[in-house]
Chains A and B, each alone.
Chain A
Amino acid sequence: MVEMDGGYTLPGMVTLRRREKIFSVPEGKNLERILRDLGILPETVIVVQNGKIVPLDYRPKDGEEFELIDVISGG
Protein backbone atom coordinates (compact mmCIF):
# COMPACT_ATOMS: atom_id res chain seq x y z
CA MET A 1 0.00 0.00 0.00
CA VAL A 2 1.12 3.54 -0.62
CA GLU A 3 0.48 6.63 1.43
CA MET A 4 0.31 9.45 -1.07
CA ASP A 5 0.37 13.19 -0.79
CA GLY A 6 -0.67 13.86 -4.35
CA GLY A 7 -3.97 13.57 -6.17
CA TYR A 8 -3.25 10.88 -8.78
CA THR A 9 -4.26 7.22 -8.86
CA LEU A 10 -2.13 4.35 -10.08
CA PRO A 11 -3.66 1.61 -12.26
CA GLY A 12 -5.26 -1.23 -10.31
CA MET A 13 -5.35 0.93 -7.22
CA VAL A 14 -8.07 2.24 -4.94
CA THR A 15 -7.88 5.58 -3.14
CA LEU A 16 -9.02 6.26 0.41
CA ARG A 17 -8.93 9.74 1.93
CA ARG A 18 -8.89 10.30 5.67
CA ARG A 19 -8.80 14.01 6.45
CA GLU A 20 -5.56 15.23 4.88
CA LYS A 21 -4.12 11.73 4.42
CA ILE A 22 -4.52 9.83 1.17
CA PHE A 23 -3.98 6.07 0.95
CA SER A 24 -3.60 4.22 -2.33
CA VAL A 25 -4.08 0.46 -2.03
CA PRO A 26 -4.33 -2.38 -4.55
CA GLU A 27 -7.80 -3.53 -5.54
CA GLY A 28 -8.87 -7.09 -4.74
CA LYS A 29 -9.73 -6.94 -1.05
CA ASN A 30 -12.91 -5.81 0.64
CA LEU A 31 -13.02 -2.54 2.57
CA GLU A 32 -12.80 -4.17 5.98
CA ARG A 33 -9.62 -6.02 4.97
CA ILE A 34 -8.17 -2.84 3.44
CA LEU A 35 -8.83 -0.88 6.62
CA ARG A 36 -7.28 -3.55 8.82
CA ASP A 37 -4.21 -3.67 6.55
CA LEU A 38 -3.92 0.10 7.00
CA GLY A 39 -4.07 -0.37 10.77
CA ILE A 40 -7.51 1.24 11.05
CA LEU A 41 -10.15 -0.47 13.19
CA PRO A 42 -13.22 -0.78 10.96
CA GLU A 43 -15.49 0.25 13.86
CA THR A 44 -13.78 3.63 14.08
CA VAL A 45 -14.64 4.92 10.60
CA ILE A 46 -17.51 5.06 8.15
CA VAL A 47 -16.62 4.64 4.50
CA VAL A 48 -18.38 7.05 2.18
CA GLN A 49 -18.51 7.39 -1.59
CA ASN A 50 -20.34 10.30 -3.21
CA GLY A 51 -22.06 11.05 0.09
CA LYS A 52 -23.39 7.50 0.49
CA ILE A 53 -22.25 4.96 3.11
CA VAL A 54 -20.47 1.97 1.60
CA PRO A 55 -20.71 -1.40 3.43
CA LEU A 56 -17.44 -2.86 4.64
CA ASP A 57 -17.88 -6.07 2.66
CA TYR A 58 -17.72 -4.08 -0.59
CA ARG A 59 -14.76 -4.94 -2.81
CA PRO A 60 -13.54 -1.71 -4.47
CA LYS A 61 -12.64 -1.67 -8.13
CA ASP A 62 -9.76 -0.04 -9.95
CA GLY A 63 -9.82 3.75 -9.68
CA GLU A 64 -12.58 4.03 -7.11
CA GLU A 65 -12.21 6.69 -4.43
CA PHE A 66 -13.59 6.70 -0.90
CA GLU A 67 -13.66 9.02 2.07
CA LEU A 68 -13.11 7.74 5.61
CA ILE A 69 -15.16 9.59 8.19
CA ASP A 70 -13.86 9.30 11.73
CA VAL A 71 -16.38 8.16 14.23
CA ILE A 72 -14.64 9.02 17.51
CA SER A 73 -15.19 12.46 18.91
CA GLY A 74 -15.09 14.23 22.21
CA GLY A 75 -12.56 15.48 24.65
Chain B
Amino acid sequence: MRCTFCEKEAVLRLRHANLRLCPEHLVARVEKEAEKAIREFRMFTPEEKILVAVSGGKDSLGLWQILTKLGYQADGLYIHLGIEGYSQRSLEFCQEFARERGLRLEVVRLVDELGAGLDEIAKVLRGEPCAHCGAIKRYLMNRSALEGGYAALATGHNLDDEAATLLGNVLQWNLEYLARQYPVLPEGRKLARKVKPLIYVSEREMVAYCLISGIRYIYEECPHSVGARSLFLKGILNELEDRAPSTKITFLRAFLRSHHIFPRPKEEEVHDCPLCGMPTSAQGPCRFCRIRERMKHYAPA
Protein backbone atom coordinates (compact mmCIF):
# COMPACT_ATOMS: atom_id res chain seq x y z
CA MET B 1 0.00 0.00 0.00
CA ARG B 2 1.63 3.22 -1.20
CA CYS B 3 1.21 6.62 0.44
CA THR B 4 -1.24 8.88 -1.40
CA PHE B 5 1.36 11.65 -1.49
CA CYS B 6 4.71 9.90 -2.00
CA GLU B 7 6.38 6.63 -2.95
CA LYS B 8 6.79 5.41 0.63
CA GLU B 9 4.88 2.55 2.19
CA ALA B 10 1.66 3.73 3.84
CA VAL B 11 1.08 2.65 7.44
CA LEU B 12 -2.44 3.93 7.90
CA ARG B 13 -5.46 4.03 5.65
CA LEU B 14 -7.97 6.74 6.51
CA ARG B 15 -11.12 5.61 4.81
CA HIS B 16 -13.07 8.71 5.92
CA ALA B 17 -10.58 10.93 4.09
CA ASN B 18 -9.80 8.49 1.30
CA LEU B 19 -6.08 8.65 2.14
CA ARG B 20 -3.26 6.18 2.65
CA LEU B 21 -0.44 7.76 4.61
CA CYS B 22 3.21 7.07 5.31
CA PRO B 23 4.47 8.16 8.77
CA GLU B 24 5.72 11.55 7.56
CA HIS B 25 2.50 12.42 5.75
CA LEU B 26 0.36 11.22 8.63
CA VAL B 27 2.17 13.59 11.00
CA ALA B 28 1.81 16.41 8.46
CA ARG B 29 -1.91 15.74 8.02
CA VAL B 30 -2.67 15.73 11.76
CA GLU B 31 -0.82 19.00 12.26
CA LYS B 32 -2.52 20.54 9.23
CA GLU B 33 -6.00 19.52 10.45
CA ALA B 34 -5.31 21.05 13.86
CA GLU B 35 -4.06 24.27 12.26
CA LYS B 36 -7.12 24.34 10.02
CA ALA B 37 -9.46 24.16 13.04
CA ILE B 38 -7.46 26.83 14.90
CA ARG B 39 -7.81 29.22 11.95
CA GLU B 40 -11.37 28.31 10.94
CA PHE B 41 -12.74 28.95 14.43
CA ARG B 42 -10.25 31.75 15.25
CA MET B 43 -9.20 29.91 18.38
CA PHE B 44 -6.02 31.89 19.05
CA THR B 45 -3.07 33.53 17.31
CA PRO B 46 0.67 32.79 17.52
CA GLU B 47 1.09 35.90 19.66
CA GLU B 48 -1.22 34.55 22.34
CA LYS B 49 -0.20 32.30 25.21
CA ILE B 50 -2.12 29.02 25.47
CA LEU B 51 -2.63 26.64 28.38
CA VAL B 52 -3.04 22.99 27.37
CA ALA B 53 -4.91 20.76 29.81
CA VAL B 54 -2.94 17.50 29.80
CA SER B 55 -4.00 14.16 31.24
CA GLY B 56 -1.06 11.99 30.19
CA GLY B 57 -3.16 10.50 27.40
CA LYS B 58 -2.55 10.51 23.66
CA ASP B 59 -4.83 13.40 22.74
CA SER B 60 -3.66 16.02 25.21
CA LEU B 61 0.05 15.22 24.92
CA GLY B 62 -0.31 14.98 21.15
CA LEU B 63 -2.04 18.36 21.13
CA TRP B 64 0.73 19.93 23.20
CA GLN B 65 3.30 18.60 20.74
CA ILE B 66 1.30 19.87 17.74
CA LEU B 67 0.89 23.36 19.17
CA THR B 68 4.56 23.74 20.01
CA LYS B 69 5.58 22.38 16.59
CA LEU B 70 3.25 24.87 14.91
CA GLY B 71 4.98 27.66 16.80
CA TYR B 72 2.35 28.46 19.40
CA GLN B 73 3.33 29.36 22.96
CA ALA B 74 1.82 26.51 24.91
CA ASP B 75 2.29 25.58 28.56
CA GLY B 76 0.76 22.50 30.16
CA LEU B 77 -1.58 22.05 33.11
CA TYR B 78 -1.98 18.72 34.88
CA ILE B 79 -4.66 18.25 37.52
CA HIS B 80 -3.64 15.48 39.92
CA LEU B 81 -6.99 13.99 40.92
CA GLY B 82 -5.54 11.56 43.44
CA ILE B 83 -7.04 8.51 41.74
CA GLU B 84 -5.38 5.45 43.21
CA GLY B 85 -2.94 3.76 40.85
CA TYR B 86 -3.70 6.12 37.98
CA SER B 87 -3.08 9.80 38.69
CA GLN B 88 0.56 9.46 39.70
CA ARG B 89 1.38 7.36 36.65
CA SER B 90 -0.33 9.73 34.25
CA LEU B 91 1.46 12.69 35.87
CA GLU B 92 4.78 10.97 35.22
CA PHE B 93 4.02 10.77 31.49
CA CYS B 94 3.25 14.51 31.45
CA GLN B 95 6.40 15.36 33.39
CA GLU B 96 8.53 13.23 31.09
CA PHE B 97 6.99 14.88 28.03
CA ALA B 98 7.57 18.39 29.39
CA ARG B 99 11.10 17.64 30.62
CA GLU B 100 12.25 16.14 27.31
CA ARG B 101 10.98 19.16 25.37
CA GLY B 102 11.87 21.89 27.87
CA LEU B 103 8.21 22.89 28.31
CA ARG B 104 6.52 24.36 31.36
CA LEU B 105 4.06 22.14 33.23
CA GLU B 106 1.89 23.39 36.08
CA VAL B 107 0.63 20.70 38.45
CA VAL B 108 -2.43 21.28 40.62
CA ARG B 109 -3.16 18.64 43.24
CA LEU B 110 -6.68 18.00 44.45
CA VAL B 111 -5.38 16.96 47.84
CA ASP B 112 -3.90 20.46 48.26
CA GLU B 113 -7.09 22.12 47.05
CA LEU B 114 -9.75 20.05 48.74
CA GLY B 115 -7.88 18.01 51.33
CA ALA B 116 -8.60 14.72 49.56
CA GLY B 117 -8.40 12.98 46.21
CA LEU B 118 -11.34 12.19 43.95
CA ASP B 119 -11.82 8.67 45.32
CA GLU B 120 -12.40 10.01 48.83
CA ILE B 121 -14.46 12.96 47.62
CA ALA B 122 -16.81 10.60 45.78
CA LYS B 123 -17.20 8.51 48.94
CA VAL B 124 -18.00 11.53 51.09
CA LEU B 125 -20.31 13.27 48.61
CA ARG B 126 -21.73 10.01 47.26
CA GLY B 127 -22.60 9.61 43.60
CA GLU B 128 -20.38 8.86 40.64
CA PRO B 129 -16.81 10.23 40.79
CA CYS B 130 -17.17 11.49 37.19
CA ALA B 131 -19.99 13.84 38.20
CA HIS B 132 -17.68 15.65 40.65
CA CYS B 133 -14.59 15.27 38.49
CA GLY B 134 -15.98 17.33 35.61
CA ALA B 135 -17.01 20.23 37.81
CA ILE B 136 -13.73 20.20 39.77
CA LYS B 137 -11.57 20.08 36.64
CA ARG B 138 -13.53 22.86 34.91
CA TYR B 139 -13.08 25.09 37.94
CA LEU B 140 -9.35 24.43 38.32
CA MET B 141 -8.61 24.70 34.60
CA ASN B 142 -10.45 28.02 34.39
CA ARG B 143 -8.71 29.37 37.46
CA SER B 144 -5.23 28.37 36.22
CA ALA B 145 -5.88 29.89 32.79
CA LEU B 146 -7.04 33.18 34.31
CA GLU B 147 -4.32 33.41 36.95
CA GLY B 148 -1.63 32.54 34.43
CA GLY B 149 -2.80 35.21 31.99
CA TYR B 150 -3.44 32.71 29.19
CA ALA B 151 -5.53 33.74 26.20
CA ALA B 152 -7.14 30.31 25.93
CA LEU B 153 -7.42 26.93 27.53
CA ALA B 154 -6.96 24.11 24.99
CA THR B 155 -8.25 20.58 25.49
CA GLY B 156 -7.53 17.43 23.50
CA HIS B 157 -11.12 16.61 22.49
CA ASN B 158 -10.89 14.85 19.13
CA LEU B 159 -13.33 14.02 16.34
CA ASP B 160 -14.50 10.83 18.05
CA ASP B 161 -15.07 12.64 21.36
CA GLU B 162 -17.07 15.39 19.71
CA ALA B 163 -19.12 13.03 17.54
CA ALA B 164 -19.95 10.90 20.60
CA THR B 165 -20.94 13.96 22.62
CA LEU B 166 -23.07 15.15 19.72
CA LEU B 167 -24.79 11.78 19.40
CA GLY B 168 -25.52 11.80 23.13
CA ASN B 169 -26.94 15.33 22.97
CA VAL B 170 -29.05 14.50 19.92
CA LEU B 171 -30.41 11.32 21.46
CA GLN B 172 -31.61 13.37 24.42
CA TRP B 173 -32.48 16.29 22.10
CA ASN B 174 -30.81 18.54 24.62
CA LEU B 175 -31.01 21.95 22.93
CA GLU B 176 -29.06 23.70 25.64
CA TYR B 177 -26.12 21.29 25.39
CA LEU B 178 -26.30 21.34 21.58
CA ALA B 179 -26.07 25.12 21.62
CA ARG B 180 -23.07 24.98 23.94
CA GLN B 181 -21.23 22.30 21.95
CA TYR B 182 -18.80 24.24 19.78
CA PRO B 183 -15.03 24.20 19.15
CA VAL B 184 -14.64 27.62 20.80
CA LEU B 185 -16.34 28.93 23.88
CA PRO B 186 -15.52 32.63 24.10
CA GLU B 187 -14.09 34.22 27.19
CA GLY B 188 -16.39 36.00 29.62
CA ARG B 189 -16.02 37.79 32.87
CA LYS B 190 -13.66 35.58 34.90
CA LEU B 191 -14.13 32.81 32.34
CA ALA B 192 -11.26 31.73 30.11
CA ARG B 193 -11.75 31.05 26.39
CA LYS B 194 -11.93 27.30 25.77
CA VAL B 195 -10.80 25.72 22.51
CA LYS B 196 -10.67 22.24 20.94
CA PRO B 197 -8.10 22.23 18.12
CA LEU B 198 -8.37 18.45 17.47
CA ILE B 199 -12.02 18.35 16.42
CA TYR B 200 -11.11 17.24 12.88
CA VAL B 201 -8.58 14.59 13.97
CA SER B 202 -9.75 11.05 14.71
CA GLU B 203 -8.63 9.05 17.73
CA ARG B 204 -6.92 6.58 15.42
CA GLU B 205 -4.86 9.34 13.84
CA MET B 206 -3.88 10.60 17.29
CA VAL B 207 -2.64 7.18 18.40
CA ALA B 208 -0.63 6.89 15.19
CA TYR B 209 0.66 10.45 15.58
CA CYS B 210 1.95 9.72 19.09
CA LEU B 211 3.55 6.41 18.06
CA ILE B 212 5.32 7.99 15.11
CA SER B 213 6.37 11.09 17.05
CA GLY B 214 7.75 9.04 19.95
CA ILE B 215 5.28 10.46 22.45
CA ARG B 216 4.91 8.10 25.40
CA TYR B 217 1.44 8.25 26.91
CA ILE B 218 -0.65 6.31 29.39
CA TYR B 219 -2.51 3.46 27.67
CA GLU B 220 -4.64 2.60 30.66
CA GLU B 221 -7.98 4.28 31.06
CA CYS B 222 -9.12 6.07 34.17
CA PRO B 223 -10.54 3.29 36.37
CA HIS B 224 -13.74 5.32 36.80
CA SER B 225 -14.41 5.38 33.04
CA VAL B 226 -15.38 1.69 32.90
CA GLY B 227 -18.90 1.47 31.49
CA ALA B 228 -18.99 5.17 30.65
CA ARG B 229 -21.78 6.20 28.29
CA SER B 230 -19.36 8.04 26.01
CA LEU B 231 -17.44 4.81 25.37
CA PHE B 232 -20.68 3.05 24.47
CA LEU B 233 -21.59 5.86 22.06
CA LYS B 234 -18.13 5.71 20.50
CA GLY B 235 -18.64 1.99 19.94
CA ILE B 236 -21.89 2.65 18.09
CA LEU B 237 -20.25 5.33 15.95
CA ASN B 238 -17.38 3.00 15.11
CA GLU B 239 -19.86 0.37 13.91
CA LEU B 240 -21.48 2.99 11.70
CA GLU B 241 -18.12 4.25 10.47
CA ASP B 242 -17.10 0.72 9.54
CA ARG B 243 -20.17 0.33 7.32
CA ALA B 244 -20.21 3.92 6.04
CA PRO B 245 -16.79 5.60 6.24
CA SER B 246 -16.87 9.34 7.03
CA THR B 247 -20.05 9.04 9.11
CA LYS B 248 -18.38 10.74 12.09
CA ILE B 249 -16.83 13.68 10.24
CA THR B 250 -19.99 14.25 8.19
CA PHE B 251 -22.12 14.14 11.33
CA LEU B 252 -19.91 16.68 13.11
CA ARG B 253 -19.37 19.02 10.16
CA ALA B 254 -23.07 19.14 9.33
CA PHE B 255 -23.80 19.98 12.96
CA LEU B 256 -21.21 22.75 13.05
CA ARG B 257 -22.61 24.21 9.81
CA SER B 258 -26.09 24.20 11.32
CA HIS B 259 -25.02 25.25 14.79
CA HIS B 260 -26.64 28.69 14.45
CA ILE B 261 -30.12 27.12 14.38
CA PHE B 262 -29.83 26.07 17.99
CA PRO B 263 -31.07 28.77 20.31
CA ARG B 264 -28.25 30.54 22.10
CA PRO B 265 -28.24 29.55 25.73
CA LYS B 266 -29.81 32.17 27.92
CA GLU B 267 -27.32 34.40 29.63
CA GLU B 268 -27.23 32.85 33.04
CA GLU B 269 -27.32 35.21 35.92
CA VAL B 270 -23.80 34.89 37.19
CA HIS B 271 -22.67 35.95 40.63
CA ASP B 272 -19.29 35.98 42.26
CA CYS B 273 -18.83 33.16 44.72
CA PRO B 274 -18.70 34.76 48.18
CA LEU B 275 -15.85 32.40 49.18
CA CYS B 276 -13.48 32.36 46.19
CA GLY B 277 -14.76 35.16 43.98
CA MET B 278 -15.08 32.99 40.89
CA PRO B 279 -18.25 33.18 38.80
CA THR B 280 -21.12 30.85 39.61
CA SER B 281 -24.73 30.52 38.55
CA ALA B 282 -25.60 29.03 41.93
CA GLN B 283 -26.98 31.13 44.73
CA GLY B 284 -24.31 31.32 47.41
CA PRO B 285 -20.95 29.55 47.14
CA CYS B 286 -19.86 27.89 43.87
CA ARG B 287 -19.90 24.12 43.57
CA PHE B 288 -16.14 23.86 44.07
CA CYS B 289 -16.31 25.81 47.34
CA ARG B 290 -19.29 23.75 48.48
CA ILE B 291 -17.25 20.60 47.93
CA ARG B 292 -14.34 22.17 49.81
CA GLU B 293 -16.62 23.05 52.72
CA ARG B 294 -18.00 19.50 52.84
CA MET B 295 -14.50 18.03 52.75
CA LYS B 296 -13.37 20.20 55.70
CA HIS B 297 -15.53 18.02 57.94
CA TYR B 298 -14.15 14.81 56.56
CA ALA B 299 -11.47 13.01 58.53
CA PRO B 300 -9.72 10.28 56.52
CA ALA B 301 -9.82 6.84 58.11
The chain A residues found within 8 Å of chain B, CB to CB, are 41-44, 46, 48, 51-57, 69-75
Query: Would you call the interface of chain B mostly helix, strand, loop, or mixed?
Result: helix
Find the A residue at minimum CB distance from B20: A55
A-B residue pairs in contact (CB < 8 Å), sample of 28? A41-B242, A42-B242, A43-B242, A44-B204, A46-B12, A46-B208, A48-B211, A53-B11, A53-B211, A54-B11, A55-B9, A56-B13, A70-B219, A71-B204, A72-B160, A72-B231, A72-B235, A72-B238, A73-B58, A73-B221, A74-B161, A74-B164, A74-B225, A74-B228, A75-B130, A75-B222, A75-B226, A75-B231
Find the A residue at minimum CB distance from B228: A75
A19 to chain B, nearest CB (A): 8
Interface members, chain B 10-41 (any A CB < 8 Å): 10-13, 15, 23
The chain B residues found within 8 Å of chain A, CB to CB, are 1, 9-13, 15, 23, 57-59, 130, 160-161, 164, 203-204, 207-208, 211-212, 219, 221-222, 224-226, 228, 230-231, 234-235, 238-239, 241-242
A74 touches B234 (CB 8 A): yes
The A/B interface has a contact count, at CB < 8 Å, of 71
**Contacts A46-B211, A69-B207, A74-B164 given; 4 further ones with Cβ under 8 A?**
A53-B11, A55-B10, A56-B13, A72-B235
Q: How distant is the Cα of A55 from the Cα of B15 in the complex, in angstroms?
A: 13
Query: Would you call the interface of chain A mostly helix, strand, loop, or mixed?
Result: loop
The residues of A that contact B212 with a CB separation of less than 8 Å are 53
The residues of A that contact B59 with a CB separation of less than 8 Å are 73
A55-B1, A73-B221, A74-B231 known; A44 vs B211 contact (CB < 8 Å): no
Q: How distant is the Cα of A44 from the Cα of B204 in the complex, in angstroms?
A: 7
The residues of B that contact A56 with a CB separation of less than 8 Å are 13
Find the A residue at minimum CB distance from B10: A55
The residues of A that contact B203 with a CB separation of less than 8 Å are 71-73
Q: How distant is the Cα of A53 from the Cα of B12 in the complex, in angstroms?
A: 8
B231 touches A43 (CB 8 A): no
A10 to chain B, nearest CB (A): 28
A41 touches B224 (CB 8 A): no
The residues of A that contact B228 with a CB separation of less than 8 Å are 74-75
Find the A residue at minimum CB distance from B225: A75
Find the B residue at minimum CB distance from A42: B242
CB contact between A75 and one of B9, B23, B230, B238 (< 8 Å): that residue: B230
B238 touches A41 (CB 8 A): yes
B208 touches A43 (CB 8 A): no
The residues of A that contact B242 with a CB separation of less than 8 Å are 41-43
A41 to chain B, nearest CB (A): 5
The residues of A that contact B241 with a CB separation of less than 8 Å are 43
The residues of B that contact A48 with a CB separation of less than 8 Å are 211
B208 touches A75 (CB 8 A): no
The residues of B that contact A70 with a CB separation of less than 8 Å are 219
A43 touches B238 (CB 8 A): yes
